[in-house]
Amino acid sequence: MNSTLYAAEIKALARRRFSSDCLTDPDHTITVDNPLCGDCISMDLHIQDQHIHALAHRVRGCILCQASAAIIHTAIAGTPVSELQFIHNCMLAVLNSESSCTPPSGWEKLHLFTPVANYKSRHECVLLPFRALLTASN
């Protein structure tokens, strides 16, 4: 079961390095922690016309947290700010094994975290970057 938790695609996402981990003159910057383990993510956003124009992040966390942040980083450009709460809810639905949300186009990789549903104590690892995104955009 854990081999699915740490599937090759999750590990590859976690290892992925992006061209820059911070933005020049971001509109919003936020740092959030997971109080359970001390994991931490910082996120910079550029927002134009109520759409996410650019994002950079710095994460100190486990593989699940890093992979989650990488999915956001990859899919976020052009996303309306008004859609972020729905995307967060989709992530939550995947973790709760609910089929109530279908992720928008470009966010299909949220389903990579389906096996995490069985590990309640790891949900926050996946959700931390989404919480950062919501907080930063608000």
Q: Name the residues that contact other proteins, by CB under 8 A.
A: 1-3, 5-6, 11, 36-40, 60-64, 119, 122, 125
Q: Rounded to the nearest 5°, which phi and psi values hold at 13?
A: -65, -45
* Structure tokens, 29: 């910057």
DSSP state letters, 13-34? HHH---S-SS-SS-SEEEEEE-
What count of residues does the chain have? Answer: 138
Cα dihedral sign for 50, 59, 114, 77?
Answer: positive
Report yes or no: 51 and 79 within 8 Å, Cβ to Cβ.
yes
Closer residue to other proteins, CB minimum distance, 61 or 103: 61
Min dist CB 22 to other proteins, Å, is 19
Closer residue to other proteins, CB minimum distance, 23 or 71: 71
Closer residue to other proteins, CB minimum distance, 76 or 128: 128
Min dist CB 34 to other proteins, Å, is 9
Closer residue to other proteins, CB minimum distance, 63 or 117: 63
Q: How far apart are CA 51 and CA 113, in angstroms?
A: 25
